Structure 1
Amino acid sequence: MALKSIEVQDRKFNISYEIVNPSQKKDIVILHGWGSNKEIMKQAFGNLLQDFRHIYIDMPGFGKSSNDYVLTTKDYSLIIKKFLEALNTNVIAIAGHSFGGKVATLINPDNLILLSTAGILEKKSASVKTKIFFAKTFNKLGLRKLTKSFRSDDVKQMSHEMYETFKNVVDEDFCYIFSSFEKNAMIFWGKADTATTLPSGEKIHKLIKNSSFTAYEGDHYFFLKHAKDICEKIENGLK
C-alpha cells in the first residue's frame, strides 16, 4: 500500500492505493463502490489480468483515504484523474463497481468496465419513502439526532462531510451521461442484485451504443465469484 498527496481545486487529498504487477506497461484502474474500498476489488481481480498493471484506489472518504470535504461524483472523477496524472499512468481501461462505475464513466476512458454500476433511478419502496419523509421533516425542525435514526445502516456512522456527499450522489440520473459515452464499454451484472437491479443494467446497455452486456448469477457483489470469466471477457473485449 502507498499514499499519495494531491491537490484539486485548492483541496488536498491523501490517496491510498496499491499497484499489482508493477512491471507491466498497460494500466487498468479498478474503482470500488460506495461504502467499500480497494481491498475487495483486489480480492476479486488481483490474481488475474496478469498482462496489465492494476491500480487499486481508495477513493476519498473510504478505506485509508481520508476526506474533509463535501464532494460530488464529478469531484471524485476530477480527483481520480489528477491522481492518475500524478502517477504518470498509461491507462487503457477503468473498471468501476456501483458508485465507482459512475466515477469511471465521467473519466471517459477508452475502455469502460461497469460492474453493477449505479446511475439509473429506481423506484423506492414505501418504507424507504416513509423514512425519507420523516428524516427531512425532523431535519427541517432542527432535530438532527432524530434524523440520524432514519438513516440506512451503511450511512449511520458517516462523518458530516461524507453524509452530505452521500446525499449528493445517491439519486443521480446518469442516463444522459451513459448515452453520451461513445467509446468501448463492457457491462457486467448480478442477476439477483437488489441494490442496482438487472433492468438498470439492461437500460445502461441500451444507452451506451458501443457496449456488451453479461449477467451472472449473484447479487451486488457477483464479481467475487465470477472474476475469472469477467477478466477473460475484458481481455478479449479491449479496444
Structure 2
Amino acid sequence: MASKEITYKEQPFQLSYELVNPAQEPVLLVLHGWGSNKEIMKQAFAKTLPEYKHIYLDMPGFGKSTNEMILTTEDYANIVKLFLDELGVRATIAMGHSFGGKVSTLLDTPCLVLLSSAGVVTVKPWSVKIKIATFKLLKPLGMKKIRELFVAPDAQGMSHEMYETFKNVVDEDFEASFAKSQSRALCFWGKEDTATPLYTGEKIAGLIENSEFYPLDGDHFFFLKHSAFIAQTITEQCISPKAKL
C-alpha cells in the first residue's frame, strides 16, 4: 500500500492506493462506491486481468484517504485526474462501483466499466418521503440525535465535510453525463439490487451510445460473485483485437 499527496483548490489530500501487476503498462483504475474502500474492489478483481496494472484507490474521505472539503462528483473526478497525473499514468479502463461509477464516467477513458452505478434518480417510497418531511420540520428546533434518527446509514458517523458531500451527490441526476460519454461502456448490474435498481442500469446503458448491458444474479455487491465473468467480458469487449472500441 502506498500514498500520494495532491493539492486541489489549495487543499491537500493524502490519497491511499495500491498497485497490482505494477510492471505492466496499460492501466486499469478501480473505484469503490460510497461508504466503501479499495479493499473490497481489490478482493474482487486483483487476480483478474493480469495484463493490466491495477490501481485501487481510496477516494477522498474513504478508507485511508483524507478529505477536509465539501466536494461534488466533479471534484472527485478532478482529484482522481490529478492523482493519475502525479503517478504519471493514463487509465485505459476505469471501473467504478455505485458512486465510483459516476466518478469513472467523468474520466473519459477509452473503456468504462460500470458496476451498479449510481446516477439515475429513483422514486422514493412514501416512508422515505415522510422521513424527509419530518426531518425538515424538526431541524429548526435543534433537537438532538435527529441526524441519527433520520439520516441514511451511509451518512451516519460522517464528518461535517463528508455529510455535506453526501448531500451533494446522493440524489444527483447524472443522465446528461452518461449521455455525453464517448467511452466504450460495459454496464454490469445485480438483478436483485435495491440500491441502484436494475431498471436504472438499463437506462444508463441506453444513454451511453457505445454500451452493452449485463444483468447478473445478486444484489448491489453482485460483482464479488461474478468477477471472472466481468474480467472475461472486459477482455473480449475492450482488450482483444476484435473489441468494439
Shorter-chain TM range is: over 0.9
Deviations 1:120-165 (A, max 9, x none): 0101111111111122222233336323321122221111111110
Alpha-carbon distance in structure 2 between the residues aligned to 1:152 and 1:177: 25
The equivalent of 1:170 in structure 2 is 170
The answer to whether the Cα contact below 8 Å between 1:25 and 1:90 also exists between their aligned partners in 2 is no
Q: Secondary structure at the match of 2:204?
A: helix
Alignment of 1:1-239 (within 5 A): 1-143=1-143, 145-238=145-238, 239=245
Alpha-carbon distance in structure 1 between the residues aligned to 2:90 and 2:172: 30
The answer to whether the Cα contact below 8 Å between 2:117 and 2:196 also exists between their aligned partners in 1 is yes
Alpha-carbon distance in structure 1 between the residues aligned to 2:65 and 2:72: 16
The answer to whether the Cα contact below 8 Å between 1:92 and 1:109 also exists between their aligned partners in 2 is yes
Alpha-carbon distance in structure 2 between the residues aligned to 1:144 and 1:173: 31
Q: Secondary structure at the match of 2:65?
A: coil
Structure 2 counterpart of 1:221, which letter?
A: F
The answer to whether the Cα contact below 8 Å between 2:147 and 2:156 also exists between their aligned partners in 1 is no
TM-score (norm 1): 0.97
Cα offset for 1:106?
1.1
The answer to whether the Cα contact below 8 Å between 2:16 and 2:64 also exists between their aligned partners in 1 is yes
Output the aligned Cα RMSD. 1.0
* Identity fraction in percent: 52
Cα offset for 1:14?
0.2
TM-score (norm 2): 0.95
Structure 1 counterpart of 2:52, which letter?
A: F
Structure 2 counterpart of 1:217, which letter?
A: D
The answer to whether the Cα contact below 8 Å between 2:15 and 2:66 also exists between their aligned partners in 1 is yes
Alpha-carbon distance in structure 1 between the residues aligned to 2:224 and 2:57: 18
Alpha-carbon distance in structure 1 between the residues aligned to 2:90 and 2:159: 34
Structure 1 counterpart of 2:39, which letter?
A: E
Q: Secondary structure at the match of 2:154?
A: coil
The answer to whether the Cα contact below 8 Å between 1:116 and 1:188 also exists between their aligned partners in 2 is yes
Gaps of 5+ in 2: 239-244
Deviations 1:149-200 (A, max 9, x none): 2112222111111111000000011111111112211110000000000000
Structure 1 counterpart of 2:83, which letter?
A: F
* Corresponding pairs, count: 239
